[in-house]
Amino acid sequence: MMQVMTYPHPPPETWDQILDYLWDDTPSLKACSMSCRSWLPRARYHLFYTMSVYTVQDCERVRSFLDASPEHWRFVRQLRVESFCNVPILMLNPRRANAALRTILPRLQNVEHLVLGLLDWEADLSSETRHALTSFPLLRTLRCEGTIFRNYDAVFDILSAMPRALRSFHCIAPPSWYNMWTPAAGMDRAKPLPLCPSFDRLESLALHTILPGVVSRVVPWLEHKLCPRELEVTCSGPEDREALVRLLDSMDVAQCIEDLKINDIVHWVQSRIPFDPTRKPFTFANLTRLRSLTLVIRPGHIQHPWLSWVLAEIPSRVLQRLTL
């Protein structure tokens, strides 16, 4: 009787886990997608998960790809519109780049994570492109890494346009060398913010070294409805510092914060009032769920009496990590 040799057939979940380990190995993923039909869905998921646009040619290449394979748009979950060699891509040919972006952005309706690099929000992007970038219905995270906002309205417009699914918003200022070529930001803060943003389940918020006055305008949102677990702020102006003090004193918000980062804390508490050990301008006592606290302190302030007071106020009963 002839004996037939059989080979083990692992379940599809095992193959998926193996392919997950190859998520950043593009040549291997391509080889797997062409080797076995059962490997194709998972390999294709990783191959098209992130789409990065660095140059105008990238925009046109993506457009050609979507024209040839229109079904692949649903695999794109992360979109990065960045700079190439520290040169803003849209500054080189903004009209051509905007035209290319407008043809691809409406197709990518499954984008959940959006990263904007070194771009001027108003000067480089047309109104149609800005609308397309804020119209992803499933958007969960938005990172503005060096994006230029020339006035307050631009910051608040992008926040107001975010979908309800948004969970994380991080805004990081552009590098100092690029600021030298950027006109001074407008100081008109008369435009009122809506009391309630469209998103109401924000979990992580970072406002780092952006226009002074932004933090003070966002705090009412936090007080009214938003209760982020992770909060990072840089208080560039006196109104921002006062707003953060009010935020930390708010029981509803303070009891939700688990990870808190305050940049240049000794500088802003020192500039608020002269040091008086009997008077406490704010308290950490309300942060009952605090697990991680990061205080960015300038080297020259390490011996300042405010630092001892701040450290004494930290609720050590719940704190798990402190970074100075």
**Overall average pLDDT of the 83-112 stretch:** 71
Report d(CA 308, CA 184) in Å as an integer.
37
pLDDT tens, position by position, 261-272? 887 665 555 444
Report d(CA 321, CA 310) in Å as an integer.
15
CA distances from 175 to 207, 226, 231 (A): 15, 29, 22
Q: What does the block give as tokens for 311?
A: 């450290």
**Overall average pLDDT of the 11-39 stretch:** 76
* Cβ-based neighbours of 190, under 8 Å, separated by 6 or more: none
CA distances from 266 to 241, 244, 260, 319 (A): 11, 14, 15, 20
Q: At 3, is the pLDDT very low, low, confident or very high (cuts 50, 70, 90)?
A: low
Q: What does the block give as tokens for 188?
A: 């008109």
Predicted local distance difference test score (pLDDT) of residue 222: 75
Of the listed ranges 189-198, 253-262, 292-301, the least confidently predicted one is 189-198
Predicted local distance difference test score (pLDDT) of residue 198: 66
Predicted local distance difference test score (pLDDT) of residue 79: 92
pLDDT tens, position by position, 192-205? 555 556 667 788 88
Q: Which residue has the higher pLDDT, 10 or 215?
A: 215
Report d(CA 314, CA 324) in Å as an integer.
13
Strands, DSSP E only, in 112-157?
A: 113-116, 141-145
Q: What does the block give as tokens for 10?
A: 């692992």
Report d(CA 111, CA 107) in Å as an integer.
10
Q: Which residue has the higher pLDDT, 182 or 23?
A: 23
Does the pLDDT at position 134 exceed 80? yes
CB 46 within 8 A of CB 73: no
CB 259 within 8 A of CB 250: no
Q: At 280, is the pLDDT very low, low, confident or very high (cuts 50, 70, 90)?
A: low
Report d(CA 71, CA 85) in Å as an integer.
32
Q: What does the block give as tokens for 113?
A: 């994570």
**Overall average pLDDT of the 59-64 stretch:** 83
pLDDT tens, position by position, 73-82? 888 999 988 7
Predicted local distance difference test score (pLDDT) of residue 283: 66
CA distances from 203 to 34, 140, 287 (A): 40, 10, 16
Predicted local distance difference test score (pLDDT) of residue 185: 46
pLDDT tens, position by position, 212-243? 777 777 777 777 666 788 888 887 677 777 78
Predicted local distance difference test score (pLDDT) of residue 186: 47
Report d(CA 185, CA 181) in Å as an integer.
12
Q: Are strands 113-116 and 141-145 parallel, antiparallel or unpaired?
A: parallel
Range ranked top by mean pLDDT from 44-48, 97-101, 129-133, 273-277: 129-133
Task: For residue 283, give the DSSP letter.
Answer: -
Does the pLDDT at position 94 exceed 60? yes
CB 15 within 8 A of CB 38: yes
* Cβ-based neighbours of 106, under 8 Å, separated by 6 or more: 132, 135
Predicted local distance difference test score (pLDDT) of residue 85: 44
pTM: 0.77
Range ranked top by mean pLDDT from 168-177, 206-215, 228-237, 293-302: 228-237
